[in-house]
């Protein structure tokens, strides 16, 4: 099934609300998915229990918790939402449901290779189309038996022997930085650690790798980067303890964009002063498109352009392709043309996001063209209501909601796809609009 042939789910459309007045709202976001799932893996590999405070509770984090439990880890979700993780020996045969979570399908197999039992990985139909060859090939280069029936994709079985020698590994992570992070997260448990080298056309989403390195360092793991696109993790223990999860700054994107579309202001409390999250880039990007942004003790506050005119943008988003749907949605209603490049890897995300965004923007009367590694979007005076398909992709759903603030009649095919990272998105969205000046 490709983006062009995707069939909408029945009876789940959600009429995106139109903003009838400027917004004045404070939106408290759930924890970062990227940090939550990295810390869950490290907690399961640690030498002592870990308490994670304010983690995300979503489909992706539940899939990760279920995967780690299946491998034998004890995980308790406390009444206040915090999560206590107690490591256990990795010795259980297991079947792992990856759903559509890239972090599960790419972070857990290296950990499963440390098990002394067979571990089967599978997921949603769309997950079986996501690139997995780099994970499978890298594990084989480390001496791990992986049975994929020749498909280089889900489903596959990791047949661990209880240990991994480690050493030097070369991969091509051009399709996703998750291939790098997946190996680095487990590498301290390899007998010789790992020296991992990327050789490929480009390396997307470097901030996500920096996030992984930061998480490892905070756990007492010795890790360094001897040269560009080479990472070394020394063997050793992984500390437990207590770790707070930052708010998800990528999920802030739609709410920040709302202030630009509807006018008024939105405040995101708890915005960190310093972070490895790529969503922090929204600050500078949205200012280029006409927003005013202030950081103070309230958090981050964005105010939309006084005249309501959103400026188009020309930008390389290779640093964080996940920001593309928000920027593309704003570009569809901007006053001047936009060009986004450096995001060819988005064709291997939950869906082919470049094809999906171009298709849906054009469906509602916009003007969007795919390029080799991005999108070109021109202003249009013919935007109109229509079904906005989501392709089982949470960021496609939120992109449609952004446009729907200004264009009446945008029906989001399946708003429940947002449960991947933000289970109550629709409630937060309506609450934001309810807090008007």
List the catalytic residues.
Answer: 322
Number of residues in the chain: 437
Task: Map the chain to HEC letters.
Answer: CCHHHCCCCCCCCEECCCCCCCEEEECCCCECHHHHHHHHHHHHHCCCCEEEECCCCCHHHHHHHHHHHHCCCEEEECCCCCEEEECCCCCCCEEEECCCCHHHHHHHHHHHCCCCCEEEEECCCHHHHCCCHHHHHHHHHCCCEEECCCCCCCCEEEECCCCCCCEEEEECCCCCCHHHHHHHHHHHHCCCCEEEEECCCCCCCHHHHHHHHHHHHHCCCCEEEEECCEEEECCCCCCCEEEECCECCCCCHHHHHHHHHHCEEEEECCCCCCCCCHHHHHHHHHHHCCCEEEEECCEEEEECCCCCCCCCCEEECCCCHHHHHHHHHHHHCCCCCEEEECCHHHHHCCCCHHHHHHHHHHHCCCEEEEECCEEEEECCCCCCCEEECCCCCHHHHHHHHHHHCCCCCEEECCHHHHHHCCCCHHHHHHHHHHCEC
């Amino acid at each position: 099934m490709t983006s062009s042939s995707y069939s909408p789910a029945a009876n789940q459309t959600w009429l995106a609300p139109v903003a009838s007045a400027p917004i004045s709202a404070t939106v408290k976001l759930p924890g970062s998915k990227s940090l939550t799932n990295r810390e869950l893996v490290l907690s399961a590999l640690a030498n002592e229990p870990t308490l994670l405070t304010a983690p995300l509770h979503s489909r992706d984090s539940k899939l990760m918790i279920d995967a780690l439990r299946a491998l034998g880890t004890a995980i308790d979700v406390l009444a206040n939402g915090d999560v206590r993780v107690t490591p256990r020996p990795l010795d259980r045969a297991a079947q792992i449901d990856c759903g559509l979570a890239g972090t599960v399908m790419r972070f857990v197999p290296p950990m499963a290779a440390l098990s002394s039992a067979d571990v089967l990985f599978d997921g949603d139909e769309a997950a079986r189309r996501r690139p997995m060859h780099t994970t499978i090939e890298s594990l084989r280069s480390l001496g791990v038996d992986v049975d994929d029936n020749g498909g280089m994709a889900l489903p596959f079985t990791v047949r661990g022997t209880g240990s991994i020698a480690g050493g030097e590994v070369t991969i091509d992570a051009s399709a996703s930085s998750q291939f790098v992070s997946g190996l680095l997260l487990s590498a301290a448990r390899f007998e010789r650690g790992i020296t991992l080298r990327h050789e490929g056309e480009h390396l997307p989403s470097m901030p996500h790798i920096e996030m992984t390195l930061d998480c490892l360092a905070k756990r007492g793991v010795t890790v360094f980067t001897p040269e560009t696109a080479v990472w070394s993790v020394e063997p050793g223990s992984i500390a437990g303890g207590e770790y707070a999860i930052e708010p998800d700054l990528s999920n802030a994107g739609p709410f920040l964009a709302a202030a630009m579309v509807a006018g008024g202001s939105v405040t995101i409390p708890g915005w960190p002063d310093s972070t490895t999250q790529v969503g922090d880039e929204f600050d500078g990007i949205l200012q280029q498109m006409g927003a005013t942004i202030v950081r103070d003790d309230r958090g981050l506050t964005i105010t939309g352009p006084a005249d309501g005119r959103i400026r188009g943008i020309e930008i390389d988003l290779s640093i964080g392709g996940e920001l593309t749907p928000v920027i593309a949605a704003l570009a569809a209603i901007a006053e001047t043309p936009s060009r986004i490049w450096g995001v060819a890897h988005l064709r291997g995300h939950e869906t082919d996001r470049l094809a999906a965004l171009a298709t849906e923007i054009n469906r509602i009367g916009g003007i969007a063209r795919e390029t080799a590694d991005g999108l070109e979007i021109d202003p249009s005076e013919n935007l109109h209501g229509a079904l906005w398909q989501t392709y089982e992709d949470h960021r496609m759903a939120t992109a449609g909601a952004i446009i729907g603030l200004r264009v009446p009649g945008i029906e989001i095919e399946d708003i429940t796809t947002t449960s991947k990272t933000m289970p109550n998105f629709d409630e937060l969205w309506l609450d934001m609009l309810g807090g008007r000046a």
